[in-house]
């Protein structure tokens, strides 16, 4: 862009309501004699700007996919390495049943893999040239419109759309939505990290040694990367509705809704990329404290195995009765701060229903993981099945 006077371009763009007018003038001034008469021939401002936008989206999608693959790579390592690292599964932020940290990482991985697939999928539909002339008829070009459009698309490496899309912005809205999904997914991962980093949980830490994280409290180990990711993701998500609302454009070209894209779309790419960047950074420097995970499991008196105990009791008592009995035992364990296993062992109905071995199995966390390893394997497969990135 150093070929052009950007200050003049900006000033004149505001005056005429579009950067294309001054740009065409500058380009004409630079063109050779033979070409000069044909600069912008048959095109309209929006053809120029939209096609430039598509080329930028191409690069942006490349950058995002590359960054997401880095995130996925990190998750894959953790999913593999921590297949059997026990931790509390938490629902509504309460201990539910045991999972492994590998499964959590595998869910992040499968999510990220799906994000990559979605970004790849949208390319053929979205990365198409815009070329319609003043009102989408290519009138200036007479019978040559189609040929010129195909040549232009070929020269730029873009696809050819069914029709010009000056005022039908479903392609833009679709790209925006997919980026919003990327951003939101990154915020999900980052939120998990922030929650796992809490002082009382302490299962992961993204603190870089020596880095100041608080201006007032020397001990603070703030999850700064995950926090940045959440902020960036929220900013990205806030842009999406403006681009979805941009579907509503008047007649052949719009007064306002289209112009929103000039600011909104670059920002959406920027914020989304920032969210992915910070999640990658958080994962890359993350320490995982398996001992603390175990300690947190131990601290809740075995309550996390209440479902397992109920399941063991159900054949003898029926599911409903078993539920009520275990609810009662769990409440006792909580009040008396005793292990659920002990409270259960002291209960006559439990003793009448379960053998000692069955009891023991009901409190064996690593034996209560069901399909955990299958799911981890599936997430890894999905990731490894991703086709390699194309180079342009």
| Range 300-359, binding a second copy (CB under 8 A) | 300, 303-304, 306-308, 310-311, 314-315, 318-320, 323-324, 326-327, 329-331, 333-334, 340
Largest CA distance in the chain: 101
Q: Let me know if 266 is exposed, middle or buried by CB neighbors in 10 A (0-12, 13-18, 19+).
A: middle
Residues 6+ apart with CB under 8 A from 230: 187, 190, 191, 194, 275
**Among residue numbers 115 through 144, which ones bind a second copy (CB under 8 A)?**
115, 118, 125, 133-142
- The rounded distance, in Å, linking the Cα atoms of 327 and 312 is 14
3-state secondary structure at position 159 = strand
Binding segment (CB under 8 A) for a second copy, from list 2-10, 61-69, 94-102, 349-357: 94-102
Query: Phi and psi for 10 in degrees, rounded to 5?
Result: -60, -45
C-beta of residue 278 within 8 angstroms of C-beta of residue 225: yes
**Among residue numbers 275 through 294, which ones bind a second copy (CB under 8 A)?**
none
C-beta of residue 252 within 8 angstroms of C-beta of residue 166: yes
Closest distance between a second copy and the C-beta of residue 12, in Å? 9
- The rounded distance, in Å, linking the Cα atoms of 283 and 227 is 13
Residues 6+ apart with CB under 8 A from 355: none
- Give yes or no for residue 98 binding a second copy (CB under 8 A): yes
Residues with catalytic annotation? Answer: 214, 253
Closest distance between a second copy and the C-beta of residue 389, in Å? 21
**Among residue numbers 181 through 220, which ones bind a second copy (CB under 8 A)?**
181, 184-185, 187-188, 190-192, 194-195, 197-201, 209, 211-220
**Among residue numbers 222 through 251, which ones bind a second copy (CB under 8 A)?**
222-231, 233-235, 237-242, 244-251
CB closer to a second copy, 158 vs 365: 365
- Give yes or no for residue 32 binding a second copy (CB under 8 A): no
CB closer to a second copy, 54 vs 369: 369
Encoded one letter per residue, x for contact with a second copy by CB under 8 A and - for no contact, window 40-69 reads xx-xxx--x---------------------
CB closer to a second copy, 3 vs 15: 15
Closest-CA residue to 56 (of 275, 268, 276): 268
- The rounded distance, in Å, linking the Cα atoms of 113 and 108 is 9
Binding segment (CB under 8 A) for a second copy, from list 1-9, 50-58, 258-266, 343-351: 258-266
Please give the C-alpha separations between residue 388 and each of 168, 175, 186, in angstroms, as whole numbers: 32, 21, 22
CB closer to a second copy, 60 vs 289: 289
- Give yes or no for residue 369 binding a second copy (CB under 8 A): yes
Closest distance between a second copy and the C-beta of residue 190, in Å? 8
- The rounded distance, in Å, linking the Cα atoms of 379 and 59 is 28
- The rounded distance, in Å, linking the Cα atoms of 308 and 172 is 49
CB closer to a second copy, 320 vs 391: 320
């Amino acid at each position: 862009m150093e070929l052009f006077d950007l200050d003049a371009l900006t000033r004149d763009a505001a005056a005429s309501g579009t950067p294309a007018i001054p740009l065409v003038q500058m380009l004409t001034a630079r063109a050779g004699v033979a070409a000069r008469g044909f600069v912008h021939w048959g095109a309209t401002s929006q053809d120029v700007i939209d096609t430039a936008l598509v080329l930028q989206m191409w690069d942006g999608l490349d950058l995002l996919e590359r960054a997401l693959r880095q995130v996925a790579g990190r998750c894959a390592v953790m999913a593999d390495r921590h297949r059997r690292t026990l931790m509390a599964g938490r629902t509504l932020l309460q201990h539910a049943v045991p999972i492994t940290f590998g499964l959590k990482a595998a869910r992040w991985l499968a999510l990220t893999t799906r994000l990559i697939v979605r970004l790849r999928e949208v390319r053929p539909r979205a990365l198409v040239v815009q070329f319609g002339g003043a009102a989408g008829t290519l009138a200036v070009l007479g019978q040559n419109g189609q040929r010129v459009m195909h040549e232009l698309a070929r020269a730029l490496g873009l696809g050819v759309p069914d029709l010009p899309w000056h005022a039908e912005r479903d392609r833009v809205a679709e790209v925006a939505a997919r980026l919003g999904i990327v951003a939101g997914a990154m915020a999900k991962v980052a939120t998990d990290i922030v929650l796992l980093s809490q002082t009382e949980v302490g299962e992961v830490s993204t603190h870089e040694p020596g880095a100041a994280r608080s201006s007032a409290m020397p001990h603070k180990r703030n999850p700064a990367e995950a926090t940045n990711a959440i902020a960036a993701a929220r900013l990205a998500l806030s842009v999406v509705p403006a681009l979805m609302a941009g579907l509503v454009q008047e007649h052949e070209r719009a007064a306002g809704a289209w112009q929103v894209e000039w600011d909104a779309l670059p920002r959406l790419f920027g914020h989304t990329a920032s969210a992915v960047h910070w999640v990658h950074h958080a994962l890359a420097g993350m320490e995982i404290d398996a001992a603390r995970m175990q300690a947190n499991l131990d601290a809740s008196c075995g309550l996390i195995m209440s479902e397992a105990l109920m399941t063991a009791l159900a054949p003898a008592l029926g599911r409903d009765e078993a539920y009520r009995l275990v609810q009662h035992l769990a409440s006792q364990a909580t009040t008396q701060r005793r292990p659920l296993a002990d409270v259960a062992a002291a209960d006559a109905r439990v003793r009448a229903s379960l053998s000692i071995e069955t009891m023991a199995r009901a409190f064996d966390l690593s034996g209560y993981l069901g399909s955990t390893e299958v799911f981890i394997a599936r997430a890894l497969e999905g990731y490894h099945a991703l086709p390699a990135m194309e180079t342009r």
